[in-house]
Amino acid sequence: MAQSTSTQFQSSSPTAALANLGLVLPPVPKPVASYVPCVRTGNLLIISGQLPFRDGTLLATGLVPDPVSVERSQEAARQCVLNGLAVVAGECGGSLDRVARIVRLGVFVASCHGFTEQPKVANGASDLLQQIFGESGRHARVAVGTNALPLGASVEIEMMVELR
């Protein structure tokens, strides 16, 4: 991604950046098992793994890259991030403006044997966070391939966010 794209919205608020991108945060996703959506410790908010639900339906199920293309899994990764940001906004009174920094992403990709492009899938999430938060959206990250994810999802993402 070009430098100008990642910093395009850096001076505006994350809420304004979302609007400029034509994105709206979904309702806060409900956990699919026995856990809480997030835990706060000090100024850190740890967001539980988010699946790519949009309007109650998983955007992508199955293994990457077959049957789910890298491009489709990148879209799923972006949805995971939007769902995670909905959790953050829910904890911050409905706004993302208290986010000081995206600290870390854990990206899990249900992968076919021999698939090694998990970082490309994760870039769907990372690039979106940089568009929304500018330099504060740059983060540490792990991208891991696995044989299966909950509910057959192709991608799951956990986040660590620092609040002001």
> For residue 31, is the peptide bond before it cis, meaning its omega torsion is within 30 degrees of 0?
no
Residue 136 included in any domain: yes
Task: Give the residue ranges of DSSP H helices in 21-116.
Answer: 70-91
Residue 108 has pLDDT above 80, yes or no: yes
Torsion of CA 121, 126, 128, 133, to 10 degrees: 170
Residue 76 included in any domain: yes
Q: How many CA atoms lie within 13 A of 63 on its CB side?
A: 11
Residue 35 included in any domain: no
Residue 30 included in any domain: no
Residue 93 included in any domain: yes
Residue 43 has pLDDT above 90, yes or no: yes
Q: What is the pLDDT of residues 48-107, one digit of tens each?
A: 999 999 999 999 999 999 999 999 999 999 999 999 999 999 999 999 999 999 999 999
Residue 60 included in any domain: yes
Q: What is the pLDDT of residues 117-152, one digit of tens each?
A: 999 999 999 999 999 999 999 999 999 999 999 999
Instruction: Indicate which CATH number applies to the domain containing 51.
Output: 3.30.1330.40
The DSSP output letter for 42 is T
Q: What is the pLDDT of residues 11-41, one digit of tens each?
A: 579 999 999 999 999 999 988 899 999 999 9
Query: How open is the CA angle 8-24-146, to the nearest 5 degrees?
Result: 85
